[in-house]
Amino acid sequence: MAKKTSFKSSARSRRKQQRKKIEFKKKEFRFHGLSIEEVKKLSYEEFLPYIPSRVRRSLKRGLTVRQNKLVSDIEKTEPGNVIRTHLRDMVILPSFINHKIAVYNGHEFEELSIEPEMIGHYLGEFALTRKKVKHTGPGVGATRSSKFMPLK
C-alpha cells in the first residue's frame, strides 16, 4: 500500500529541492564601480579621486623614500612571497593586491594577505598593536580581600 503524504509535507519537500538547485555565486567586488582589473590599470593620478581625502592628501605630498622602496619591492616580487615592513602608515595601493605583507605591530610581524577590499586603507589598520584583555582571578596584593583567597 502506498504511503500517504499530506499536502504540507509534499510542499515542504518541493521547497527543499528548489533550495538545493539554487547556487549562490560570490558577488564580484567592485571598487567605486570599477572592477579590480580596471583599478589596477589606473595611473597614480587617476586613482587619487577614488580614495578618501585624508589618504589622498598624504599621497599627493608624495611617498617617502622608504615607502617608494616598499612599492618597488612589491612590484618586483611575485604574489606568493612575504614582504616584511615597519611601514604602518603606508596606504594600500591596487598594485598590492594578492601579495602577502608582514606588518610590524610593535611586538611581532603580522602577516596580511592583501585583498581588494583593503584598497585605500593603511597597513597599520590591519596589524593591531594591542591585545584583547584577558581577565583572570585577582592577583597577589590586588585588594585587601584577595589576600585571603584560598590557593587551589
Sequence ranges of the domains in the chain: 28-126
**CATH domain 28-126 topology:** 30s Ribosomal Protein S19; Chain A (3.30.860)
Stretch (H or E) spanning 109: strand 109-113
pLDDT computed for residue 14 by the predictor: 77
Strand order in the sheet with 100-104: 82-85, 100-104, 109-113
Query: What average pLDDT does the segment 24-28 reach?
Result: 75
pLDDT computed for residue 8 by the predictor: 63
Whether 95 has a pLDDT exceeding 60, the answer reads yes
pTM for the structure as a whole: 0.71
Q: How many CB atoms lie within 10 A of CB 31?
A: 19
Rounded to 5 degrees, φ, ψ at 130 are -115, 145
pLDDT computed for residue 115 by the predictor: 93
* 3-class SS of residue 110: strand
79 pLDDT band, cuts 50/70/90, is confident
Q: What percent of the chain is modeled with pLDDT above 90?
A: 55
